[in-house]
Structure 1
């Protein structure tokens, strides 16, 4: 330990020469700190560790000889308003920030009240007052607790932040300054140019057509991948008590289809239709409607002892057809056609009893993830879209439906064994502890109704079954953060977390 870092490093290199593995290896080093920082930014590292090469190791002691340098991203955002201050001397509390999408909508991404000097506060407040307006520039309009004012989206701020939250908002953001050489119109033009440069497969056209119909007669016919789909009631609430419309729901599925369709590709669909009004109990259907239009995918699938003509996922026309017919969610099978006797994953549905808090569900999910990994299987995680979580165990090719069910049951029982008092596999609802989390392995059965990745749930908030990173499991996790309003921004921020899997 009294030897300097350079000597200790050289000794480690001699010991590990030719012996490095995936688990034991030496980290990369560089004498040029500037070049290392540039590489860190380019490859989006969290940061770098800077060490004095001549310093001794001091266990348990914080020292300036060994520093972690975090890289904080910074970006331009449009200011769309401000909040009132708690201290009247501050002039304003925080600025409301937005980012333009390729469709021209300004999406709210959060607020910041940090980084302002008194001089900047006075100047910025005066400029924002001159831009004040009555209506929100953000679409959709954010729900804000603080007293606030809207402003024309003209001013552009340079903002530093630590990361994007699960809900697609900025975390720990700080105001760095105004970009006097840039305006909101510049950022809008940049967003539209980027969208035009990307091939969206006609999604923008469909989105715009649905919006035009909703603002007009509320109904019409759209062409999707060659299929002619009738849509109606676009201006009606998507669910009783919801501020979102049927048009909002359809446009969500259009915008999110690049993430949704690969996950449901070739999977037969069990669909819950809400007849007439979505306030009524849904009617579950395995068979495709007899008047399903051409170009919507229908396949003959063996269901028990009979064959059924079923809708099969993987294309936008089929997905939008189900929503236009009164569905809100979609429940893909765990198998793909034509090999529906084989299953590529098992599901553990973590369903809390009435007395169990969501933090208990999180605790059980952590145990379930460990159990799946200890079994040598890859795991995936998502919210149920309601009060639970779904843990997926990816299975080897050729796994039969019966074997998948057996795997799911063994995993569930092991979770209950490792989490006594928290988890239960008791099937009788009256026999389960009121504060336990039911680990439901029966959701791995053929045709079980499990919401697909990014599926919308029938709730007033139109919550979404949202894929999660395992690192997001915490007491702060809230299923209500994931809605049709927040999910597009979340995917822009964290990417499609379901993409690496076949689930």
Structure 2
């Protein structure tokens, strides 16, 4: 993670607005701006419109970079005055960054001061400042060093992201293996959440959530927690008690600090509710979790997702797709927050019952294992008050540690499973980031007309 000077941008493609990607660079000691690659992930509609407005104010006819053939010919140039903060997976041999994610503009940094930073070992940055000043080395840092040396195959060890873990983050037992299948350690998972934090927080901010802790790792006992004291979880926020007065206060993870402190606390999975805390009584999404029974093939799951999408489109409802990180897929409908929990859950149940009645050989309406042998249960129970679904970019506490990833419908046929991407391979997806869901927020629809079309009358 480091800052780069913005020297230009490319045009957007498809339905995207603003820009396609930013062209990035850094200065050498002689004042020459060297091209360092581009970044096209990490934006939403608001940030795209904001940044194109700023770029147009500093438009230029002159290429500010040193001569190179790596830049797209149709690029638009700007005066090199804006500074972007970016995370990325690695530097290539040709001097460009890969798997980059935009995190924002840095108004506190002068462009002329931006240099290519050198990676620092994770065991050094994990030491508290007091220990660094005194010259003492923490036990945790020593363990991290030993873990790095002992690891047979650490898929994230070469990533520059670990060089930017907060200096205040002390990771205990970093070398503890949390998944024997993939060989993932606790520090690997912390690094992963640091890597995807910018993407994941778009799906976490503002929503009450549940944390799935796995102190004994994958295969051990799991602890599903919607409530917790936050003194041991810096950055995690307790939501107002009045949102759920009969229970302890709910939690929100609104920032990187909260995300990483949860990972240090052995949280593997992050599950969010279907409403924002600020308008908690009115859900703003509807989730259909395609959960395959015994004997269901992956092709059947893919076909089920397409059928689900087709039916929702007949109702005039948009459908967005993501892998679950487990065995199935999640079809998500963004809603205008107009109806209460009971109405949304009731209507989602009505849709699933219709699908099961229309295609009984494919779908089951009841969730029990005996009811869905060879069939798919479309889990509508995720739409109840207090219910949660694994968030996009959340890892899963399953062998192999799959992750939930937003995908475009055109990508569905190429997926190999609900765990197509894992913690170990996440860096190969960062160039796409949340782009497949770029239209999610502005696609929010009302279910009023759809309920009338199906003849559903809320109780």
Normalising by structure 2, what TM-score? 0.61
1:197-237, CA deviations, whole angstroms, 9 ceiling, x for partnerless residues?
985899x99x95646468942469x9999995432122222
1:300–1:307 contact (8 Å) kept in structure 2:
no
1:295-342, CA deviations, whole angstroms, 9 ceiling, x for partnerless residues?
432223456551423321221111112111011110011111132111
The RMSD of aligned alpha carbons is: 3.9
SS in 2 for 1:492: coil
SS in 2 for 1:351: strand
Looking at structure 2, the residues matched to 446 and 218 of structure 1 have their Cα atoms a distance apart, in angstroms, of 43
With over 3 angstroms needed to count, the CA separation of the structure-2 counterparts of 1:389 and 1:302, relative to structure 1, is: farther
1:416-441, CA deviations, whole angstroms, 9 ceiling, x for partnerless residues?
234330111123432x1410001111
SS in 1 for 2:248: strand
Equivalence for 2:429: 490
What is the CA-CA distance between 1:282 and the residue it aligns to? 0.6
Structure 1's unaligned 5+ residue stretches are 1-40, 46-99, 103-157, 159-183
Equivalence for 1:399: 339
* 1:373-388 correspondence runs (5 A): 373-388=313-328
Match of 1:469 among 408, 419, 443: 408
Match of 2:256 among 298, 316, 325: 316
With over 3 angstroms needed to count, the CA separation of the structure-2 counterparts of 1:422 and 1:278, relative to structure 1, is: closer
1:427 aligns with 2:367: yes
1:3-36, CA deviations, whole angstroms, 9 ceiling, x for partnerless residues?
xxxxxxxxxxxxxxxxxxxxxxxxxxxxxxxxxx
1:355-377, CA deviations, whole angstroms, 9 ceiling, x for partnerless residues?
11121111111111112212212
1:191 aligns with 2:97: yes
With over 3 angstroms needed to count, the CA separation of the structure-2 counterparts of 1:459 and 1:295, relative to structure 1, is: closer
1:217 aligns with 2:142: yes
Looking at structure 2, the residues matched to 395 and 185 of structure 1 have their Cα atoms a distance apart, in angstroms, of 40
Q: Which has the higher contact order (CA 8 A, sep 6+)?
A: 2
Looking at structure 2, the residues matched to 465 and 334 of structure 1 have their Cα atoms a distance apart, in angstroms, of 16
Looking at structure 1, the residues matched to 210 and 363 of structure 2 have their Cα atoms a distance apart, in angstroms, of 28
Match of 1:351 among 277, 291, 299: 291
With over 3 angstroms needed to count, the CA separation of the structure-2 counterparts of 1:209 and 1:499, relative to structure 1, is: farther
1:325 aligns with 2:265: yes
With over 3 angstroms needed to count, the CA separation of the structure-2 counterparts of 1:496 and 1:484, relative to structure 1, is: farther
1:452 aligns with 2:391: yes
Looking at structure 2, the residues matched to 197 and 272 of structure 1 have their Cα atoms a distance apart, in angstroms, of 26
With over 3 angstroms needed to count, the CA separation of the structure-2 counterparts of 1:42 and 1:233, relative to structure 1, is: same
With over 3 angstroms needed to count, the CA separation of the structure-2 counterparts of 1:498 and 1:217, relative to structure 1, is: farther
Equivalence for 1:287: 227
1:79-121, CA deviations, whole angstroms, 9 ceiling, x for partnerless residues?
xxxxxxxxxxxxxxxxxxxxx999xxxxxxxxxxxxxxxxxxx
With over 3 angstroms needed to count, the CA separation of the structure-2 counterparts of 1:405 and 1:190, relative to structure 1, is: same
1:478 aligns with 2:384: no
SS in 2 for 1:363: helix
* 1:54-69 correspondence runs (5 A): none
What is the CA-CA distance between 1:294 and the residue it aligns to? 5.0
With over 3 angstroms needed to count, the CA separation of the structure-2 counterparts of 1:189 and 1:402, relative to structure 1, is: same
SS in 1 for 2:250: strand
Equivalence for 2:188: 248
Equivalence for 2:199: 259
Normalising by structure 1, what TM-score? 0.56
